[in-house]
């Protein structure tokens, strides 16, 4: 998947996080950190595989899937994109 599409999905994630959804500070911090790490990876010219990024999103999906289904769909999409890119 092109980096542009992944960036669009990250933007969607940030928009969802910016809404007044009842996340704890710890949950928000973890999600923003995941988004920041992926954006940093996208800025690199060479895509160096980092399985920790995808693993982090898979864990976030499991953590939020019951209480925040819309966010979970976005996180799954990002995790799948990372997997497709070999990250």
Domains contained in the chain, number:
1
Residue range(s) defining the domain that contains residue 30: 3-85
b or e along 28-50 (b: 16 or more beta carbons within 10 Å of the residue's beta carbon)? eebbeebbeebeebeeeeeeeeb
Band of pLDDT at residue 75, cut at 50, 70 and 90: confident
The predicted pLDDT at position 45 comes to 42
Chain segment 7-50, per-residue pLDDT in tens: 787 888 888 878 867 888 888 888 888 888 777 777 764 455 55
Token pair belonging to 80: 């799948």
């Amino acid at each position: 998947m092109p980096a542009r599409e992944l960036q669009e999905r990250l933007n969607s994630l940030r928009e969802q996080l910016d809404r007044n959804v009842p996340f704890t500070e710890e949950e928000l911090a973890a999600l923003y950190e995941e988004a920041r790490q992926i954006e940093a990876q996208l800025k690199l010219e060479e895509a160096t595989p980092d399985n920790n990024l995808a693993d982090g999103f898979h864990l976030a999906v499991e953590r939020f899937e019951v209480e925040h289904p819309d966010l979970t769909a976005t996180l799954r999409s990002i995790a799948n994109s990372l997997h497709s890119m070999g990250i």
